Amino acid sequence: FMIPVFWTAQTNGGPANSFSVASSADGTKLVGVTWPGFIYTSANSGVTWAGPFGPSASWSSVASSSDGTKLVATYHGGSIYTSANSGGTWTPQPSTGPAAWSCVASSSDGTKLVAAINTGLIYTSANSGVTWTPQNSGSATWSCVASSADGTRLVAAINNGQIYTSANSGVTWTPQNSGSLSWNSVACSADGTKLVAGTAGGAISTSSDMGLNWTAASTLSSFALCVDSSADGSKLVAGPNGGLIFTATLRSTVGTAGYLQGFQHSAIELQYIGSGQFIPLSHEGAFSAY
């Protein structure tokens, strides 16, 4: 199992009041947007930031290809925008039309996209956003989506509802045991098995089995408006409302030699999920995994 530790506030020109963030596959290239505002980028995992870039707009979500060059952003009340040069220029995709786009995600190569409308449907694209297809997701207050590297496994969350997953590029969706919470951000590892989600209350939860089971990982001081993950799910980034961007490292035990270490009076509840793996259900105090 994996436990997030060592969240570190990042300064040096990062997007304050960040509304959405995205990460390259190795977790070093980050992009963040504000609403209203601009785009900011980092090439060193959030230690320093460059920007602002792009036009001033009400950006509601942004996603990135694995190399950090192809970006896609949702414009609340407008069309979906795409960029092929790390956000230097943006092109509106006329096929999407004006809508209350709330969230978007991308495959690793930037060709397969998924986007959702607040109080609407989920849409997918197989050609970098040129054309879009409504999927069998149902109309809901979709707040966030995420995609595996190949665009096959998708995850979407409803504000004050459940988290849903798809294993066939969005054709069908399955509600998961996530509880009905005010989910407003979600991300996944490259293979789509490790998930991280944030709520309006600042709580961050993680799953290592594609959403079947969830554990409360940590709580930030304010709304966890945006989260993202590196390709292996070991590095996380979160952007609270009205605060600085935070980063985290996930640690996991390995084999029978692995162990947990905590402070006095700490407690943890584990559940066996098969194949020699456990997940934490609840905990008091801080733990490190080795």
Binning pLDDT at 50, 70 and 90, where does residue 26 land?
confident
Residue 122 has pLDDT above 90, yes or no: yes
Higher pLDDT, 104 or 269: 104
Share of the chain above pLDDT 90, in %: 22
Residue 238 has pLDDT above 50, yes or no: yes
Report yes or no: 235 and 247 within 8 Å, Cβ to Cβ. yes
SS3 for 220? coil
Residue 226 carries which side chain, given as an amino acid letter? C
Burial per residue of 116-127, b for 16 or more beta-carbon CB atoms within 10 angstroms, e otherwise: bbbebbbbbbee
Residue 79 has pLDDT above 90, yes or no: no
Residue 269 carries which side chain, given as an amino acid letter? E
Residue 1 has pLDDT above 50, yes or no: no
Cα–Cα distance for residue pair 158/285, rounded to 1 Å? 30
CB neighbour list of residue 63: distance below 8 Å, 6 or more residues apart: 22, 71, 72, 73, 104, 105, 106, 113, 147
Report yes or no: 103 and 142 within 8 Å, Cβ to Cβ. yes
Return the pLDDT at 2: 47
Binning pLDDT at 50, 70 and 90, where does residue 215 land?
confident
Binning pLDDT at 50, 70 and 90, where does residue 192 land?
very high
Return the pLDDT at 124: 95
SS3 for 180? coil
Residue 269 has pLDDT above 90, yes or no: no
Lowest mean pLDDT among 147-161, 179-193, 219-233: 219-233
Return the pLDDT at 101: 93
